[in-house]
Amino acid sequence: NWESGIRGSEPAFAWRKSGKPFKVHPTEIRTSISPSSAVELNTTSALANYATEAGDNEREGLLNHSIVDTWVKWESLLLIRFTISEELLVQIPAGTGRCSGEPVYQLNQHNIPALTEVTRRVGVAIGDQILDLNAVSHLFDGPLLKDQQFVFKEATLNSFMSLGRAAWKEARDTLQRLLSVNDQTLQQNAELRARALVPQSSATMHLPAHIGDYTDFYSSIHHATNVGIMFRGPENALMPNWKYIPVGYHGRASSVVVSGTPIRRPNGQTCPVDGEAPVFGPCRLMDFELEVAFFVGGPPTTLGEPVPIQEAQDRIFGMVLMNDWSARDIQKWEYVPLGPFLSKSLGTTISPWVVTLDALLPFAVDNMEQVPKPFPYLRHGDKFNFDINLTIDIKRQLSIYSPGLVLYAERSVSSTVSRTNYKYMYWTSKQQLAHHTITGCNLNPGDLMASGTISGPASDSFGSMLELSWRGTKPVPLADGSTRKFLQDGDEVVIKESNHTNTN
């Protein structure tokens, strides 16, 4: 059983006409096929289904050949997707309309590749499956989406995000209907189910959107207070502006990556001893920052036109988990007077799944009391903090040796180092967006805005190693018996969330 994709071009068309076998170079195969492998495919069957999107009217009588799945266009290259195995095809259990007991309202959207990773797809999580929205795009036939079905055929969510809140709700309602126990559309169509459902375990995750701009805020009062105490003392913990504006800075969008992307320890200038000359070398104080970020939606705004806070909710598409990797020693040396730069641009990790705002609204809780009262452009009376439990684990591969120092086993050891909650945010995402645009800064669908490090009031609810180890003075114990002040090479940081039944 295997799947593969090959590149198509004018030379490939000439190759097809020749009828000769073609060896696909291993580096051109975007799957797990061994680098030593080469795959030979019969050209007549392989290129049978290129016709429509390749712009060639010729079908050659083999359009429905079992070896050919579909022909797609990607990054100006024509590609073919082949599906030889049928074992990966799954079905919704008859009469259920859902998998793994997941509530159908928890519809998390992201972009996924096709099974062969030839093209990326937009999908919705249903239990341990992914519903490929490209395969069911024709079922979005409501008044707002019937002429916009192309948005589900694209490689990112940007076009769908641009349609606005009413279209997002219509899509959500359509999905809930299709996946309900009372709807027969998918339950009675085995062929469609087979095409539309993909096991999450067999999919490769990608960034859910093209991120044009990225802003990182500093909106957790406990985090800001902790850092202020460390560096300025308790009397000056918060800067004078902190309770008046949602402080933020413009981050580096190009280095936002999807979860699972390795992050390399950066080199840079640091000043280990205050008052002495700086040195150059590897970062010694590598840290994580637990954050939650939201994607901007709706059509692009106009330069010079602020988004009123009363309209901010319609501009928040959904939220992702974030780890804003931070090189603390580089940050300390560089941040005066303009703020973070290289200490933050080394990489920012987000989850591939976007939890839509409508899915989060049932978990809204009271906002934190804000004293002094914000300026009118930042005021809103509705609840817009969210009861989202967040945990941080540090995972480490542990090698076990025999008495003769022969490696005989390896196992992964995970240690939970913090449990916190999004509800500890001082500034809400509505306020962040309204403040971001108050000078007339324009926004685009797919822009990313992050909360800043989320810390709670207790020492085991802090959102960074800087706080958990209190600037390296209190080592954090791990389950394998080791300790951490900051991250070591090989450490894996796992951020998880869970929301539960709201009682507020």
**Does residue 89 belong to any structural domain of this protein?**
no
Domain boundary among the residues 48, 68, 83 is at 83
Residue 348 assigned ligand-binding role: yes
**Structure confidence at residue 259 (pLDDT):** 97
The answer to whether residue 223 is catalytic is yes
pLDDT at 411: 81
pLDDT range class, residue 19, cuts 50, 70, 90: low
- Please report the pLDDT score of residue 397 as a whole number: 85
**Has residue 141 got a pLDDT over 80?**
yes
* CA trace torsion 150, 155, 160, 161 (10° rounding): -160
pLDDT, position 403:
65
Which CATH number fits the domain that encloses residue 382?
3.90.850.10
Band (pLDDT 50/70/90 cuts) for residue 410 is confident
Same domain as 340, residue 263: yes
The domain that contains 151 carries what CATH number? 2.30.30.230
Q: Indicate whether 404 and 494 sit together in one domain.
A: yes
Which residue type is seen at 283? C
Residues 38 and 151 occupy one common structural domain: no
Residues 191 and 322 in one domain: no
Instruction: Say whether pLDDT at 422 is over 80.
Output: yes
98 labelled binding-site residue = no
Residue 409 has what pLDDT? Answer: 64
Confidence of residue 35 (pLDDT cuts 50, 70, 90): very low
Catalytic residue among 223, 250, 380, 500: 223
Alpha carbon distance, N-terminus to C-terminus of the chain: 52
Cα–Cα distance for residue pair 5/354, rounded to 1 Å: 28
Which of 348, 352, 229, 212 shows the shortest CA–CA distance to 291? 348
Q: pLDDT tens digit string along 253-288? A: 999 999 999 999 999 999 999 999 999 999 999 999
Kindly tell me if the per-residue pLDDT of 58 is higher than 80.
no
Q: Which residues form the domain of 126?
A: 108-202
Report how far apart, in Å, the C-alpha atoms of 1 and of each of 33, 83, 88, 190 are: 11, 9, 10, 21
Q: What is the mean pLDDT of the chain?
A: 81
The response to whether 287 counts as a known ligand-binding position is no
- 437 near 307, Cβ under 8 Å? yes
Residues 374 and 449 in one domain: yes
Q: Is 289 annotated as a binding residue?
A: yes
Which whole number is the average pLDDT over 83-107? 30
Compute the average pLDDT of residues 445-469: 99
Name the pLDDT band for 500 (thresholds 50, 70, 90): low
From residue 186, alpha-carbon distances to 98, 103, 175, 190 in Å are 11, 17, 11, 7
Q: Are residues 193 and 244 in the same domain?
A: no
Q: Binning pLDDT at 50, 70 and 90, where does residue 143 land?
A: very high
Q: Is 216 labelled as part of a ligand binding site?
A: yes
What are the pLDDT digits (tens) for 223-243?
999 999 999 999 999 999 999
Q: Is 331 assigned a ligand-binding role in the annotation?
A: yes
Which comes out higher in pLDDT, residue 105 or 198?
A: 198
Indicate whether 310 pLDDT > 80.
yes
335 assigned binding-site residue: yes
Beta bridge partners of 279: 270
Ligand-binding annotation for 344, yes or no, is: yes
Q: What are phi and psi of 358, to 5 degrees?
A: -60, -30
Residue 208 located in a structural domain: no
- What mean pLDDT do residues 125-137 have? 94
- Nearest alpha carbon to residue 433 among 306, 318, 299, 319: 306
Q: Picking from 52-66, 99-113, 423-437, which range would have the lowest pLDDT averaged per residue? A: 52-66
Does 388 lie in the same domain as 422? yes
Q: In sequence order, what are the residues at sequence separation of 6 or more whose Cβ sits closer than 8 angstroms to the Cβ of residue 293?
A: 319, 320, 321, 322, 350, 448, 449, 450, 451
Query: Last residue of some domain: 178, 202, 226?
Result: 202
The model carries a pTM of: 0.77
Distance of CA 20 to the CA centre of its chain: 43
3-state secondary structure of 223: helix
Domain termination site, one of 32, 49, 83 = 83
Residue 401's pLDDT band, with cuts at 50, 70 and 90, is: low
In percent, the amount of the chain with pLDDT more than 90 equals 69
User: Cα dist. 384→87, 293, 296, 353, 363 in Å?
Assistant: 45, 14, 16, 21, 9
What are the tens digits of pLDDT across the range 145-180?
999 999 999 999 999 999 999 999 999 999 999 999
Q: How many domains does the chain have?
A: 3
